[in-house]
Structure 1
Amino acid sequence: MSNSDEQQIAHYNKRFENINYEDKHLVSRYFDNCTFYKSTIKGCLFEDCTFNNCVFEESDISLIKFKDTFINNLSLVNCKAIGILWYDALNPFSIIAKNSILSYSSFFGKNLKKIKLINCTAREVDFSECNMGNADFSGTDFMGSTFSNTDLRLANFKEALNYQIDPAGNKIKGAIFQLPAAISFLDSLGIKIVD
């Protein structure tokens, strides 16, 4: 961001390209319909900010932090978003990610109804206590991720990989799963399948 951008409080319909804005503390910023392209915003603290209908594309937003910040209809496309505590963002909260890395993050307790994580890497992510009804997780890798007391009703897990979901500890009615990954449900039963 240029010096003039740093002084502005509200940004509407702006495109930020190739910015390097690591470990900054941004307060009372409003971003509406903005795009961040090929940018590095790692480790920033957003305090009392709003992201409304914004897109991060081919950007690194890993380890960003939120305090009193709203996120509405945020899109991540080909992004690195590692180690983010999304649960710190205020409600309502909505995010769509495609071809992005969301590993080592937490969405604990968030209402993520209709969330889309398409062809993402979401390893070691905490989805405990989330409402993820009608979600689309097509092609996403969930290795080591936690689903505990999570509402996954009508969720789409087609081509998703490496999930471990206990049917007794989560709501999964109407969800779509695909073989062979769906065999992971048998792990919670303590049985072994052999050829």
Structure 2
Amino acid sequence: MHVKVCPVRYKNVNCVLSDSKSFLHMESVYHQDKQYVKINFQSQDNRGAVYDGCIFDGCVFYQVDLSDCNFINCTFTHCDLCLADVSRTGFQDVRFSHCKLMGISFASCSTFGLSFSFEHCLLQHSVFAKLKLKMQQFNSCKLQEVDFTGTDLTGALFAECDLERAVFWQSNLEKADLQNSFNYQIDPEHNRIKRAKFSIWGLQGLLYKYEIVVMK
């Protein structure tokens, strides 16, 4: 069997291919600078695909298997990604705006170059446990019951986010900004909050376990 080494447009990757069919398959999963509008990805085999510089507008990824995919410099707007499988999935410079991302375990995604932002997104019941999310941005997001256990959120911004029943345990919130967020409960004894910013209206969320009544 003839084996050849050929470059594919993956960054910093060479592949060993056994035949021309394998090469065509590898090429078919690479998508660059494309725009997808109101596409339903539920009927497609998306595993292992690479999307570079792509835009997704109004697309459906509900319960879709996105394992081993890579999204590089992509934008998702008004998309439904609820319960999507993102095991070993790469997110590099990815922006989510007005998207549904409920029940996603981001803790299982690839940590290589991990970088994403969320604005006006629904993220209820999602998991970010033990990820390094320094300077992470959540803007006007629903974060109820999201799991931040052991997450490094140094310098993160939570702007006007609802954090009701969100789990912060052994989390690093140093220099994080939660001034405009609400409904959070954060135990200073079990989280690092040095130089974190809170509003006076959020003090009750730091003192909840002492059953202190904070008068406004």
* TM-score, normalisation: structure 2: 0.83
Q: Kindly provide the CA deviation profile for residues 64-114 of structure 1, in whole angstroms up to 9, marking residues without a partner as x.
A: 002332111221101111100001101132220001100011011111111
- Decide which structure has the larger Cα Rg and report it: 2
Q: Which residue of 2 aligns with 1:107?
A: 128
Q: Report if the CA contact (8 A) 2:204-2:212 is conserved.
A: no
Match for 1:183 among 199, 204, 208? 204
Q: Which residue of 1 aligns with 2:15?
A: none
- Give structure 1 stretches of 5+ with no counterpart: 1-6
Aligned in 2, Cα 1:68/1:185: closer, same or farther, shift over 3 Å? closer
Structure 1 residue 24: deviation in Å?
Answer: 4.8
Match for 1:50 among 70, 84, 98? 70
Match for 1:165 among 186, 193, 196? 186
- Structure ranking higher on relative contact order (CA contacts 8 Å, 6+ apart): 1
Aligned in 2, Cα 1:144/1:25: closer, same or farther, shift over 3 Å? farther
Q: Which residue of 2 aligns with 1:40?
A: 60
* TM-score, normalisation: structure 1: 0.91
Q: Kindly provide the CA deviation profile for residues 100-134 of structure 1, in whole angstroms up to 9, marking residues without a partner as x.
A: 10001101111111110011001010000000001
Distance 1:53 1:194 in 2: 46
Q: Which residue of 1 aligns with 2:170?
A: 149
Aligned in 2, Cα 1:178/1:18: closer, same or farther, shift over 3 Å? same
Distance 1:145 1:25 in 2: 33
1:82 and 2:102 matched: yes
Q: Which residue of 1 aligns with 2:48?
A: 28
SS of structure 1 residue aligned to 2:205: helix
Moved more, 165-174 or 86-95: 86-95
Distance 2:44 2:128 in 1: 23
Distance 1:23 1:110 in 2: 30
Task: Kindly indicate which of the two structures has a greater share of residues assigned to strand.
Answer: 1
SS of structure 1 residue aligned to 2:100: coil
Structure 1 residue 193: deviation in Å?
Answer: 4.1
1:117 and 2:145 matched: no
Moved more, 85-94 or 22-31: 22-31
Moved more, 148-157 or 15-24: 15-24
SS of structure 2 residue aligned to 1:91: coil
Match for 1:64 among 81, 84, 101? 84
How many residues align? The count is 189
Distance 1:193 1:135 in 2: 26
Match for 1:131 among 133, 149, 152? 152
Q: Report if the CA contact (8 A) 1:25-1:47 is conserved.
A: no
Distance 2:211 2:204 in 1: 12
